[in-house]
Amino acid sequence: MHKHYRHRRGLSTLELVLALPILLFVMALMINFGTVACWKVRGLSVARNVLWSTRWPRSGGSNPRPDYWPAAAGVNVGGTGNVTELDDPRVDQPVARGPLPLAGAEVNVDLLDPTRGLRQGSATLDRGFAMLAKMGMYHLKAETALLDDRWQYGQMGVSRNNSRRIPILYTIQTAAATYVGDYVQAVVAIYYASFREAHKPLDNDEEFIYYNQLFGWGGGAPDFHPRLSSFCSLDESLANDRVKDLIDRIQGKVEKDEEGNVTLRIRDVAENMTRAFISLYERAIQAYQDAMNADPSPSDVQIAAMQAEINQLQQKIDVLNQYLQTLQSNDGG
């Protein structure tokens, strides 16, 4: 048994006409949503830009608002007080929160308070929807926050980044007035000491200056003073280690294993100076020899004078080499 069906002409067109407004409406909503999301991201970018561009020591003039942000849109930055609570073990340390293990020392809690200095940047925008204008205007507000307290040297009141911050960060007991007077007297005694002239080779040796000027090498006399390496710590053991290292570089140090082999050797001031003078004299001898072999050749009188200088320098080198062997034999090197 066959059934006969009648064709319904024009029904697909009618369905399209009925569905098209709905499809267009959904598409318009999608466009509106994408546009609003895009401007939301832009607003966050502008809020972050104004916040960081006005962070100390910047004023914002060198980093204006982006061109894509409308002139009528709002941009604002300001302080919003403190964070209610910052529960972070990384900042909950005695050196930042106290109490310090050093007797009589206190932390500047206000300066090192990690909850202070909260600043907030915001950007606001009122804009009509890209599609379906009858929906009216929408309002966007993007905000971002930043903890920006007095962490930089200029904000702490010091002139340079390598200035000592300890007197600002901590309250530490000051030395007695007698200690200060003793220190001043020691400095004066050293400055006017009778042996200062004998110590000139340590940093102002005349021979180094003479040969550097004679041969045009440039530079002055080397400084052989061992320096106490800089450190910033309240750890007494660390300070003692640095002092011991300074003494080793003054006096020298040799360590050996059980078989008598040298495992560590630190040169003392005497050996460093001896090697430096040997190198200076060898360079001077080479310079004199180059001058003697120059073209045009110097006169016989000049050659004789330079050869005499070479002989004297070689004698000094021989004496210093003997002294160097004595130094090495004394420490077993």
The domain of 27 spans 11-171
Q: Are residues 201 and 325 in the same domain?
A: yes
Each residue's pLDDT tens digit, 51-66: 888 887 777 777 777 8
Lowest mean pLDDT among 6-20, 99-113, 192-206: 6-20
pLDDT at 3 over 70: no
- pLDDT for residue 4 is more than 80: no
Check whether residue 139 and residue 266 sit in a common domain.
no
Residues with Cβ within 8 Å of 122's Cβ and at least 6 positions away in sequence, in order, are 47, 74, 75, 76, 77, 141, 142, 143, 144
Do 47 and 108 fall within a single domain? yes
In the prediction, which pLDDT does 27 show?
93
Q: How many domains does the chain have?
A: 2
The answer to whether residues 127 and 217 belong to one domain is no
Q: Does 146 lie in the same domain as 250? A: no
Of 124, 139, 171, the residue at which a domain comes to its end is 171
Whether 276 is covered by a domain: the verdict is: yes
* Distance, C-alpha 226 to centroid of its chain: 24
Work out the average pLDDT over 314-327. 94
Say if 46 falls within a structural domain: yes
Give the mean pLDDT of 15-40: 90
In a domain, 264, yes or no: yes
* Packed helices 206-214 and 269-292: angle between N→C axes, nearest 10 degrees: 30
- Percent of the chain at pLDDT > 90 equals 41
Q: Is 186 inside any structural domain?
A: no
Q: Is 138 helix (H, G, I), strand (E, B) or coil?
A: strand
Widest distance between CA atoms in the chain: 141
Query: What per-residue confidence (pLDDT) applies to 56?
Result: 75
Query: Does a structural domain hold residue 85?
Result: yes
What is the mean pLDDT of the segment spanning 69-86?
83
Q: In one letter, which amino acid is 266?
A: I
Give the total residue count for the chain.
333
Q: Confidence band (pLDDT; 50, 70, 90) for 269?
A: very high
Q: Where are the alpha helices (DSSP H) in 177-299?
A: 177-191, 206-214, 236-251, 269-292
pLDDT, residue 318, reads 96
DSSP assignment letter at 14:
H
Same domain, yes or no, for 217 and 155?
A: no
> What's the pLDDT at 175?
74
Chain segment 222-266, per-residue pLDDT in tens: 999 998 877 777 678 888 899 999 999 999 998 888 888 888 889
**Whether 149 and 199 share a structural domain:** no
| Segment 272-305, tens digit of pLDDT | 999 999 999 999 999 999 999 999 999 999 999 9
Mean residue pLDDT of the chain comes to 86
pLDDT for the residue numbered 36? 93
Please indicate, yes or no, if residue 4 is contained in any of the structural domains: no
- Is residue 323 assigned to a domain? yes
Q: How far is CA 137 from CA 36, 39, 92, in A?
A: 11, 13, 47
Q: Say if residue 2's pLDDT is above 60.
A: no
166 and 204 inside one domain: no
Residue with tokens 């200095």: 117
Distance CA(8)–CA(19), nearest Å, equals 18
The 10s digit of each residue's pLDDT in 186-223 is: 999 988 998 888 888 999 999 999 999 999 998 889 99
pLDDT at 8 over 70: no
Judge if 22 and 167 occupy the same domain: yes
Both tokens of 74, joined, read: 């709002």
Q: In this structure, is residue 181 part of a structural domain?
A: no
User: With 60 as the cut, is the pLDDT of residue 332 above it?
Assistant: no
My answer on whether 71 and 125 are in the same domain is: yes
| 252 and 163 housed in the same domain | no
Q: Which residues pair with 124 in a beta bridge?
A: 74, 141
* Averaged pLDDT, 24-51: 92
Residue 208: other Cβ atoms inside 10 A = 19
- Whether 165 and 252 share a structural domain: no
